Amino acid sequence: MRKKFDEPLCPPADSTCTPDFIDAKKDISNLLNTESFAVLATQGEGQPYTSLMSFKVTEDLKKIVFSTPQETRKFELLKKSDKVALLVDNRSQTPPSLNRISAVTITGKANIIPPEKAQKWADFLMEKHPYQKSFIFAPSTALVVVDVYRYFLVKRFQEVVEWSPR
C-alpha cells in the first residue's frame, strides 16, 4: 500500500505489477472506449457542479478530451479551477445484475486548448463522435484536455483498484 497519495500505484516501468493492475488497466481502457459519455465534476464557490459530456481517451490513458460551449457555467468553472473529476460507468449496458456494473472515477487537471492548437484534438474527438462535427468545430466551442492523475475503478460495488497512467 502506498504511503503518499501522489505516488503512482503501479509505475509504468515497474515489473513487479501484479495481474490485478494489468487487468485494471485493461478494464479501464475497455470501459472508456465502449462508453460514450462521462459525468464531469467541476467546482466553484464552494459547490460541486456536474455535467454530462461526450469524451475520448488517448490510447495510453494519460489524456481525455471533451468539448464544451464557452458560454456555460461549466466553462466558467473550468477557467477558475483546473481540478476536475470524471465518472464513467456501464450501467446502461449491463444486465440487471448489480454485480456486473463497473465505474471509474478519473481525477486530473483540465487544460483549455487555445484555438490555434485545437485542430488535432478536435480531429481526435471526432473519431469517436463524428455526429458532433458541427458542435466540435463551432467557433463558440472550446476543447478541453484533461491530464489524468489517477483512476479509481470500482467493480461489483466493493472492489476498488486505484491506477495511475503516469
Name the residue among 118, 18, 4, 32 with its Cα closest to residue 68. 118
Q: What is this structure's pTM?
A: 0.84
Q: What is the pLDDT of residue 64?
A: 99
pLDDT tens sequence across 16-50? 445 554 588 999 999 999 999 999 999 998 899 99
The burial of 162, by beta-carbon neighbours within 10 Å (0-12 exposed, 13-18 middle, 19 or more buried), is given as: middle
Q: What is the pLDDT of residue 22?
A: 53
Task: Delineate the domains of the chain, giving CATH numbers in brackets.
Answer: 19-163 (2.30.110.10)
CA dist 129 to 139, 145, 152, Å? 18, 16, 25
Whether residue 105 contacts residue 85, with contact meaning beta carbons closer than 8 Å, is answered with yes
